[in-house]
Structure 1
Amino acid sequence: MTPIVKATSSAALALLLLTGAAERAIAQTRPELGRVHIPYDTFTLPNGLKTLVYTDRSAPTVFVGVWYGIGSKDEPQGRSGFAHLFEHLMFQPTPDRPSPWFPPLEAVGATGINGMTTADFTQYVETVPANALDRALWMEADRMANLGRGITQSGLDEQRAVVKNEKRQGELNPGAASEAQFLKAYYPPDHPYAHTTIGSMDDLDRATLDDVKAWFENNYGASNAVLVLAGDIDVATAREKVARYFGGVRRGAPISRTLQWTPGLAEIRRDVVYENIPVAALARTWPLTNDAPRDNTLLQLAARSLANGPGTPLYDALVDRLGVATGMSAGVNEGQLTSAFTLTATLKPGVTPEAAGAAIDAAMQDFFATGPAADRLETVISASDVALLRTMENSGAIGAWLADGQVNHGDPTYFLKQREWIGAATPAEIRTLAARVLSRPYYELIQMPTAVDPVAPVADPVDPARMPDPGPAQTRIVFPPIAEAVLPNGLKLVVANRPNLPLVDARLQFRTGSLAEDAYGRGTAGRAFSLLTAGTRRYDREQLSRQASRLGVSFAAGADARESGVSWSMLKARLDDGFALAAEVVRHPSYPQSEIDKALEAVGPQFDAYERNPIAAAGPVYARAIWGDAHPYGRIGTRDDAKTVDRQAIQAFHDHEMGPNDATLYLVGDITLDEARRLAAKYFGDWRPVSATPPATLAAAAGTPGRVILVDAPGAAQSSVTVGHVVGPFNPQTSAAEALADSILGSGLNSRLNLNLREARGWTYGFDGGVSDAPTGQRVFTASGTVEAERTADAMTEIRKEIAAYVADRPATQDEVDRDRNARILALPSAFSGNGAFLSSIVGSAGYSLPYDRAASSGERLKAVTLDQVQALSRQTYHPDRLTWVVVGDLKTIEASVRALNLGPVEVWDVYGNRLR
């Protein structure tokens, strides 16, 4: 969903609170945050120009930035878009510099030359070699002093046309109509944030040469600017140079402006906008005053803990468990006049905004009652701090933070103050603050897709008292024609011709994986595939990334136990180039030692995180309890295992296990078999066959059923409960009945386990279960989720009760079978809307030795399932007397009550599956 909040995010806070990708590698125990000191200096010239200086001699470069205290909020009626227009004009020539802005700086090796306009300020930045600092300062002073005299009618007309085209392009983007509606509804008409930064066409058209010259003279004086110098420069040198170049620049008149204005919402307001977007979305915005900056900073922590990614309550509830959304996010947008907390949800096709809104309400009420999980908050805090400290190696980033703090908060080191607030935050404080602020009225904007076809005139009046029945459902999945071929070297081709769009998706699937790595070292298969894009014989990582981007090709690779693969997508017009690059990646990886070293360096922090967050051990410990410690599926990797992988082993695995005679190239999209054969022969035809390790025959699971395994997670507010047992091999004849049996018991939105533990008891955000996928051999039924620590034993009782009743006195009912069957059948077409869906289905079916178009018959197979079949298969599949339990939680809180259940022998293990007692 397009962000639509008209407020300017603090650069410092945005960098402090990076995406969740960094969090997974961070230990989830909050470290004692060390003191960070930024030794900056500041001085002000007589004309009012404030200068910030940060000295860092580590590189002979200087970051130069000028922040002007003028943004779109300062534009009067009839002058909207002037600040942004001037961002363009400020790169134009001056009387003393007849050339455009870029050439003189590029000639001396400057980098990062850029400008940006926001609602609150305009900034211009570049990083120059220290020896070229004088040139940069002269140029900045020259445009501050003289640009007004250099603006010409032709220059104005040129840049106005550029800006108008930029505006038109922006209005074509999904979300443009929503932004316009948001600004109109959320802010009062005369609020400084009530118009877009780019302005209106009419105001841009009305701008005269005299208007823009006056705008420059009134707003771009020295007293309305902050200059920052960061890098190979000291304050004495800076003072002399700045005085020399900027001392004669006009001061400029003081600017009268609004300082604070927070929109007031007496009640919830909800609007809907229909526009050209693929799926519905909604955004809720709560106004925030700037009187409490610490609260606004902590609300960002609340946002990250509430909705940003897997593991947060709203994401887990709406995306993973309820399936009403495909994405969730939340954040705080800080502006000089007002700030805002915004929560966004991208809805799953077919889900109404009302249903999504109700789910959001329920999840937020849970959050208000319990607050963020302690481990989640610790993760966010630790990850944010580590990210901040790492980026502080860049003097330019520090310079930008200093300027941002000065311009937006009157404190250059405001970002360090935020760091202190973040480091001291507690779950209780976040819960209380979130409940207080987010219980207030909000503005909700619903984005709905416009209908593709025009609406026909209404023939008959609608009866408002009668809910319309749905029309006939189109549930048939139409597979594209599929053709096969085999190259002389054994490479098999499977091509599904789907010329809907000029796109092609490819996957090169190998019959190898972690089960073949015993001769090479644990983890070798995963490294061999994940490092394919780290470099090749022709490209290093950066060059390869640039080449792929240039061609519009994207790669993904990974290894599983029995099969592994490399995926890429490409444009029809770049098929030849795409195949060439894919062959380079797959056939000639260089596995640079430097990239392997980076992976090895990450081993320590990764295992630190694993050991300090025992909840993460639930899956690996459960696998060991089920399969046994000697079984490949029961192994838990250690630090020593991870550090034994070396380049020679990775290269050997690639050379001996990855070959054409052990692979299939699947292609879906605008490509024919003849085209595929020609390209495959050209780029893969001379690839030599290999003698790969034969597929392993796995022993039966050796775990002892009927045990309860406890793992201590001191202080954990919730317990992770995982329970299940081994089941028989996959049977394609009964798979449809099994899917419905699973759905009713544990894998569906309305499953018995979820309805009991979440809806009826309120002990969990969600609990689900089902039988694992495996093409051969034994599989595992597993049910899992996290529950309140104090309710751990009670939850275990209810789980066993539900499973026992399901195979005895309360089996599946006809209503349950019909409900879940219909839901699955009706959802089938939406699951096959793009090349990727067909590719995944074809590859998956092949992995099970089933017809490529097996999914096309899913609806018919589901329709054929009877209640008796579901009940009989349930009795064969689920065995409450064979359950193995793995519970990770605070043993001081849960151990005694769990033992008292008498569910079987109780053992206490560590996170590596070693029995402690």
Structure 2
Amino acid sequence: MRHTAFAAVLALALAAGAPPVLAQSGGPVPASELARSVDIPFEAFTLDNGLRVVVHTDRKAPVVAVAAWYNVGSKDEPVGQTGFAHLFEHIGLFNPTENLPGGLMEPLRAIGATDWNGTTWFDRTNFFQTVPTSALDQALYMESDRMGHLLGALNQERLDNQRGVVQNEKRQGDNQPYGLVYYSQLEALFPPGHPYRHSTIGSMADLDAASLEDLRQWHRDNYGPNNAVLVLAGDIDAAAARRKVQQYFGHIPRGATNGPAQADIPTLAARIDQQMQDRVPNTRLYRTWIVPGLLADEAADLQVAASVLGGLASSRLDNELVRGEETATSVGTGYQPFHRIGMFTVTVDVKPGQDADAVSRRLDALIADYIANGPTEDEIARTVTSTLSGQIQALEPVGGFGGKAVVLAEGELYADDPGFYRKELADLGAVTPASVKGVMGRWLTRPVLATRVDPGEREPYVEAADSRPAPAPAEPLAFTPREPMPGVGPMKALDFPDVERARLSNGMEVIYARSTTVPVTRVAVEFDAGVAADPAAAPGTQRMMLDLLTEGTTSKTAVQIAEEEERLGANVAAFASIDRTTVGLTAVTPNLEPSLDLLADVVRNPAFRTADIERRRNQQLAAIAQEKSSPNGVGGRALPIVLYGPDHPYGRAWSGLGSTEAVQGLGRDDLTGFHQRWIRPDNAQLFIVSDRPLAELTPLLEARFGSWGPPAAAKGSKAFDAPIPAPRSRIVLIDRPQSPQSLILGGLVLPVTGQDDLVTLNAANEVIGAGFLSRINQDIRETRGWSYGLSGRVNPLERQTPYIVTAPVQSDRTGESIAVLIEQYRSFLSDRGVTAAERERTVNGNVRQLPGSFESSANVLNALRTNALYGRPDNYWETLAPRYEALTAGQMDAEARRVLGEARMVWVVVGDASVVRPQLEALGMEVEVREAR
């Protein structure tokens, strides 16, 4: 039976809204106490045209999240029209409307929108943006024009353009390792005609066949207000929201009545074993079942079942296959709930050299044993606490991909209840070992789809047609213009949290800011090291050392560390940027003290046990092999060495994984030596953002870090005196056969550092390279349709900073794309500098986005860390608005020309040499062909 008492406490806690109690250092607070923070008050109403509106008030920042969700996704597509929902999302997001002939992207950027995007999945299509409060009327005008005034602006040219972009999005996903598996899984799991049988991205053939009239009818059938939910969350109340929504959306007529496709939960007649090949370094095993979806009573049990089996860091499969038998390098289990059905999937990456058949049999045996015996009470408690911690953190922002607006919209769209999350949490709290075992017995004892992907040559790729039939003529649609779009009201200036400082008795500096939105504390113990500190003769040393910090301390094993994190709802992670090494903690504040105990133990007392070293070595070697199989990984390994040379601290793979040869040779002395040189109190700063005041936190930090003294070993230092190769325009082609897309990376080392003033340069670069509206993205993506998206960015480092262009393009346009990029930069840096309109859009966008840029404690923490890295004052972010407003187009041009010069970039291309080499040689540049290293 279920823990009904706990469910009642959970529901009561949600309603009470009482402040959480604080745990003593002895242990965590109950999950029911954490649940008190999961509360999203809302009001809801419906317009006469059927538009459902949900409003949540959150005054922490002068911003409002605007989210429009449509009850249509790929499951609603008829045969022959796969990919239409996603294609139309692109049209709605990137193309003009009847009253906004320039589209929505430019005004969204100009008003300082953050988190703006659109997505499509099996069950829904959504558009969202977070905007300054004073720009809400303009955002609602734009969103209502997208809903009710789009069709008259849609023409054949715009359809063809977005078709090309979507097909390149498909190529980009398909080009990844294991990128074709999902298609085969869906076809095997679902019978013909089932709504979930095809992928959301669709087929190349159906996208080729999409006509203008098809897309017009798709909008008429699915995009009416009566098929939508609009959520406003943030600096607004329900009364004001009702007036504004009625003003902007009330005139839109009801659309067609749309009943989302029904779908049963299919059961395979018998187990299916399917085998595939891909250009991957190791065998991957999958086990997949179709199970109930998000509205089912079993959803919480399935979620817990997946977490315990392979989702938690201490999961059953991790402990048996990765840490115990060491026959796998990674495992994962997930329950993905959709509206009508859910997918329960297990994945195992077989360790190179192991018998994949034996691992497959062992996996089946472990799953069968788990289904037969179920989880323990402790495993469930850890899962519930971890889930609640993640939910609390996710609810800090009002919008984006996972904030409060998303929770409310999903509840209303699928369950007709914005507060559906309360039922989900109550169900989670009611889970027991018996209930999980019962649900697994009902659903996971059915026949499974067992997929195996082995290293080898891929199947031939199904490309888009070389040419499509001439489109049928379509009559233009008449439309009635609306009133002009409203302007933007007075903006509130950014009020960045006050920065406070303290110093521990051992000299460690504490840099603090307060954030009280949710009861979460974030800590970063940061060391002046980073990938640049890796030994030149042994790249990958730091990565292995960092991974081993959470694999065991002198008093805890890896399993004990993971279980402690889960009981506390905390996460301790060790990671590195190029210039800094960080051990971070995210904790729910009620459990802060025991979470800090764990952080301090991980930082100060690593065990570096021989068995852990060997296990992590094998995992890192597998990660290197995986990196060498992916286009981004291959390019990311090559470009830094090409730019900086092999002797420079920045001239190594910025992932930090290092080389196979170096990692194979690392011993315990190498790892302990690195830790003693770099992970030490006299090389550290401590950053913290919390809802608790610094005066309460300082004693807690002192008790755990104040007595930490530096070791006898000399502190590490980085030497940046190695010469950097002179810029020379050339192409380095890395052959990756069977790639439907090429990854182009252009690079140039700039005569500036991250500690220089880069405000003017970044503003100028927004015009040519950074962001959706940049010239290179507009040209190659939006005009030509050759890419899903590309950018050119100043990548600030503490020392010599690089400029990097990233451009994934379809293979047959690789050479032309480089030619376009070269010409775009040449003209921008000579005769086609920043225009008045580009300057105004850039300045307005950067000024207006500031108040919404630090909505979450994670953003505030990152701001503190970057200020320290680049030597900025504490009030740096508050100084930016007047600086942007004073910029002129001439100043932006002058700075871009001074720093970028002639943009003599070296180009690294990862693609199929048999296809792209002739294109590159036709450019008249030196071409060097390499294998992936």
TM-score interval for Structure 1 and Structure 2 normalised by the shorter chain: 0.5 to 0.7
Structure-2 residue corresponding to 1:440? none
Superimposed CA distance per residue, residues 660-695 of structure 1 (whole angstroms, 9 cap, x where no aligned partner): 111111222334444343223222121112431123
Distance 1:526 1:696, change over 3 A: same
Instruction: Give the gaps of 5 or more residues in structure 1.
Output: 1-87, 92-101, 103-156, 186-268, 308-312, 332-340, 436-462, 913-917
> Bigger shift: 725-734 or 758-767?
725-734
Superimposed CA distance per residue, residues 399-418 of structure 1 (whole angstroms, 9 cap, x where no aligned partner): 89999999889x953625x8
Structure-2 residue corresponding to 1:792? 814
From 821, 824, 845, the equivalent of 1:802 is 824
Q: CA shift at 1:562, angstroms? A: 2.9
Instruction: Give the TM-score taking structure 2 as reference length.
Output: 0.57
Distance in 2 between residues matched to 1:573 and 1:543, nearest whole Å: 21
Q: Would you say the 8 A contact 2:520–2:587 is kept in 1? A: yes
Distance in 2 between residues matched to 1:162 and 1:807, nearest whole Å: 64
Identity %: 22
The 5 Å alignment of 1:154-193 reads none
SS of equivalent to 2:669 = helix
SS of equivalent to 2:614 = helix
Distance in 2 between residues matched to 1:368 and 1:667, nearest whole Å: 44
From 638, 642, 646, the equivalent of 2:663 is 642
The 5 Å alignment of 1:456-605 reads 465-474=483-492, 476-498=493-515, 502-518=519-535, 521-605=538-622
Distance 1:166 1:685, change over 3 A: closer
Distance in 1 between residues matched to 2:601 and 2:785, nearest whole Å: 54
Distance in 1 between residues matched to 2:857 and 2:582, nearest whole Å: 17
Distance in 2 between residues matched to 1:176 and 1:502, nearest whole Å: 17
SS of equivalent to 2:495 = coil
> Bigger shift: 792-801 or 277-286?
277-286
SS of equivalent to 1:770 = strand
SS of equivalent to 1:387 = strand
Structure-2 residue corresponding to 1:367? 166
Q: Would you say the 8 A contact 1:504–1:572 is kept in 2? A: yes
Q: CA shift at 1:174, angstroms? A: 8.3
Aligned residues: 615
SS of equivalent to 1:618 = helix
Structure-1 residue corresponding to 2:684? 663
Q: Would you say the 8 A contact 1:843–1:852 is kept in 2? A: no
Distance in 1 between residues matched to 2:50 and 2:462, nearest whole Å: 29
Structure-2 residue corresponding to 1:750? 773
Distance in 1 between residues matched to 2:920 and 2:576, nearest whole Å: 38
Distance in 1 between residues matched to 2:878 and 2:818, nearest whole Å: 39
Superimposed CA distance per residue, residues 734-754 of structure 1 (whole angstroms, 9 cap, x where no aligned partner): 422111111001002211111
Instruction: Give the TM-score taking structure 1 as reference length.
Output: 0.58
Distance 1:404 1:790, change over 3 A: farther
From 720, 730, 735, the equivalent of 2:753 is 730
| Aligned partner letter, 1:342 | D
Structure-1 residue corresponding to 2:62? none
SS of equivalent to 1:468 = coil
From 346, 349, 361, the equivalent of 2:130 is 349
Structure-2 residue corresponding to 1:387? 286
Superimposed CA distance per residue, residues 778-813 of structure 1 (whole angstroms, 9 cap, x where no aligned partner): 222221211122212211111111111111111111
2:176 pairs with 1:376: yes
Structure-2 residue corresponding to 1:274? 54
From 678, 694, 711, the equivalent of 2:699 is 678
Distance in 1 between residues matched to 2:5 and 2:457, nearest whole Å: 52
| Aligned partner letter, 1:705 | R
RMSD, matched Cα:
5.0
Distance in 2 between residues matched to 1:386 and 1:738, nearest whole Å: 48
2:892 pairs with 1:851: no
Distance 1:355 1:508, change over 3 A: farther
Distance in 1 between residues matched to 2:702 and 2:877, nearest whole Å: 30
SS of equivalent to 2:746 = strand
The 5 Å alignment of 1:180-219 reads none
Distance in 2 between residues matched to 1:630 and 1:304, nearest whole Å: 50
Q: CA shift at 1:615, angstroms? A: 5.4
Q: Would you say the 8 A contact 1:807–1:875 is kept in 2? A: yes
From 449, 456, 461, the equivalent of 1:415 is 449
| Aligned partner letter, 1:375 | N
Q: CA shift at 1:379, angstroms? A: 2.9
| Aligned partner letter, 2:748 | H
Q: CA shift at 1:284, angstroms? A: 4.5
Distance 1:689 1:305, change over 3 A: farther
2:883 pairs with 1:861: yes
Structure-1 residue corresponding to 2:839? 817
From 819, 829, 849, the equivalent of 1:827 is 849
| Aligned partner letter, 1:282 | W
Q: CA shift at 1:846, angstroms? A: 1.0
Structure-2 residue corresponding to 1:651? 672
Distance 1:890 1:856, change over 3 A: same
| Aligned partner letter, 1:387 | Y
Distance 1:672 1:561, change over 3 A: same
Distance in 1 between residues matched to 2:67 and 2:569, nearest whole Å: 28
Distance 1:404 1:563, change over 3 A: closer
Q: Would you say the 8 A contact 1:770–1:782 is kept in 2? A: yes
Q: CA shift at 1:764, angstroms? A: 1.1
SS of equivalent to 2:484 = coil
Structure-2 residue corresponding to 1:771? 794
SS of equivalent to 1:719 = strand
Distance 1:354 1:887, change over 3 A: farther
| Aligned partner letter, 1:386 | L
SS of equivalent to 2:809 = strand
Q: CA shift at 1:724, angstroms? A: 3.0
Q: Would you say the 8 A contact 1:495–1:666 is kept in 2? A: yes
Structure-1 residue corresponding to 2:897? 875
> Bigger shift: 271-280 or 839-848?
271-280
Q: CA shift at 1:872, angstroms? A: 0.7
Distance 1:281 1:700, change over 3 A: farther
Distance in 2 between residues matched to 1:674 and 1:385, nearest whole Å: 51
> Bigger shift: 361-370 or 748-757?
361-370
Superimposed CA distance per residue, residues 718-738 of structure 1 (whole angstroms, 9 cap, x where no aligned partner): 222222322112376742211
Distance in 1 between residues matched to 2:694 and 2:8, nearest whole Å: 47
| Aligned partner letter, 2:652 | R
2:866 pairs with 1:896: no
Instruction: Give the gaps of 5 or more residues in structure 2.
Output: 17-34, 58-64, 89-93, 96-103, 132-138, 182-277, 288-346, 349-359, 373-437, 469-480
